[in-house]
Structure 1
Amino acid sequence: MGKRILVILGHPASNSFCGALAECYAQSAVRAGHEVRQLFLGAMDFDPVLREGYQQTQPLEVDLRRAQADIVWAEHLTLVYPIWWGGVPALLKGFFDRVFLPGFAFKYRKGKAFPEKLLQGRSAHLLVTMDTPSWYYRWIYRMPGLHQVRKTTLEFCGIKPTRTLTFGPILGSKAAQRETWLKQANAIASR
């Protein structure tokens, strides 16, 4: 029996290699019998800035309310994004800031050091591109853009990352290498 999968493209351009990875993953998951929905952050209409922090409630735009409904619907999330300046693109960070809110993704509890995780029971895949060689990003930079998403965003809210694939360097990569990377995305989506 298939899962309900939400594929989130965190690159602002859907015609990027990240866009190709997201589309390949989604098509492969559908062929494997999963139900798939997709979010293209670059096509959504929302303010990525949490204007007052958590001091005031900032009304959610229609696209963000739909995104929250899709996250609740999903059993599995797949995030596809590039590493820029060692971290996630501003658009993806803004999406997290605006959507993964207290009361939706987590809940502070009086007298408790850690909040209640409101999105438990979901898993996630991360498909991440970069221009830095993957080994260098891992061992020299210590993967801040992966830790931020896996540990301090998804796991904080109860979503369990089960697989992370890194693709790079994208800059200067040949068509054959990109085809190999697309096959890797196809393989994990087919499971």
Structure 2
Amino acid sequence: MSRRILVIPGHPAMESFCGSLADAYVKGARAAGNEVQLIDLAKLSFDPILHNGYNSIQPLEPDLLSAREAIKWAEHLVFVYPIWWGAMPALLKGFIDRIFLPGFAFKFRDGSAMWDRLLSNRSAHLLVTMDTPIWYYKLVYRMPGHNQMKRTILEFCGIKPVKISSFGPVKNATPQKREQWIAKAYAYGNKA
């Protein structure tokens, strides 16, 4: 069954290992007959700062308007990014701050602590690279970046299930190991 998949590389460099993983995922998903769009955050032009919080409306730049339409279109979101200082890069966080706004991603209910999840009926897969050993990130740090993205952003907005695949440590990985990870990203896309 064909799905509408949106792949979002969140690394700020135009060329990165995350970009290679994203490209492999896209190739695998397309080979399986899925419709795939790609939004490379490094190529977008937008202010990543939500200057006034939710107190006033900050107009979305054309690239963000297009990204919002792509998110509406998608049934499955794939974010590909590194863990820096325990969480996602500032560019990806800024993208989320600017796009996942009240009225689009969620809506608070008047007089209630509850909210409506406006991005329901979508799933997500996070392909996350790191230099920290994965076991250490899990057991010692308790996966703060994974929890932030999965629980407090995507699931908060109704996106679930959210699968997370971690790749690392990348820094000293051999070319053979990197090729194995790229093949794994292709396989994930092919099974999406």
Q: TM-score range by the shorter chain?
A: over 0.9
Question: Equivalent residue for 2:118?
Answer: 118
Three-state SS of the structure 2 residue aligned to 1:92 is helix
Aligned equivalents of 1:67, 1:162: Cα separation in 2? 20
Matches within 5 A, 1:17-166: 17-166=17-166
Unaligned runs of 5+ in 1: none
Aligned residues of 2:82 and 2:129 also touching (Cα < 8 A):
yes
- Tell me how far 1:111 sits from its aligned partner: 2.5
Three-state SS of the structure 1 residue aligned to 2:169 is coil
Aligned residues of 1:4 and 1:35 also touching (Cα < 8 A):
yes
Aligned residues of 1:74 and 1:122 also touching (Cα < 8 A):
yes
- Tell me how far 1:188 sits from its aligned partner: 1.3
Aligned equivalents of 1:78, 1:137: Cα separation in 2? 21
Question: Equivalent residue for 2:16?
Answer: 16
Aligned equivalents of 1:99, 1:167: Cα separation in 2? 27
Q: 1:52 to 1:162 in 2, by over 3 A?
A: closer
Aligned residues of 1:126 and 1:161 also touching (Cα < 8 A):
no
Post-superposition Cα deviations, 1:167-191, rounded to whole Å, max 9, x if no partner, equal 0011011001001111111111111
Question: Equivalent residue for 2:171?
Answer: 171
Aligned residues of 1:11 and 1:92 also touching (Cα < 8 A):
yes
Aligned equivalents of 1:103, 1:162: Cα separation in 2? 22
Three-state SS of the structure 2 residue aligned to 1:160 is coil
Q: CA RMSD in A?
A: 0.8
- Tell me how far 1:14 sits from its aligned partner: 3.1
Aligned equivalents of 1:110, 1:167: Cα separation in 2? 42
Post-superposition Cα deviations, 1:141-188, rounded to whole Å, max 9, x if no partner, equal 000111110000000000014421100011011001001111111111
Three-state SS of the structure 2 residue aligned to 1:22 is helix
Aligned residues of 1:154 and 1:161 also touching (Cα < 8 A):
no
Aligned residues of 1:121 and 1:158 also touching (Cα < 8 A):
yes
Aligned residues of 1:24 and 1:186 also touching (Cα < 8 A):
yes
Regions of 4+ moved over 2 Å: none
Aligned equivalents of 1:77, 1:85: Cα separation in 2? 24
**Relative contact order (alpha carbons < 8 A, sep ≥ 6): 1 or 2 greater?**
2
Aligned equivalents of 2:98, 2:78: Cα separation in 1? 18
Post-superposition Cα deviations, 1:76-128, rounded to whole Å, max 9, x if no partner, equal 00000000000110000000000000000000101222210000000000000
Unaligned runs of 5+ in 2: none
The one-letter code sitting in structure 2 at the alignment partner of 1:167 is F
Aligned equivalents of 1:95, 1:161: Cα separation in 2? 21
TM-score relative to the length of structure 1: 0.98
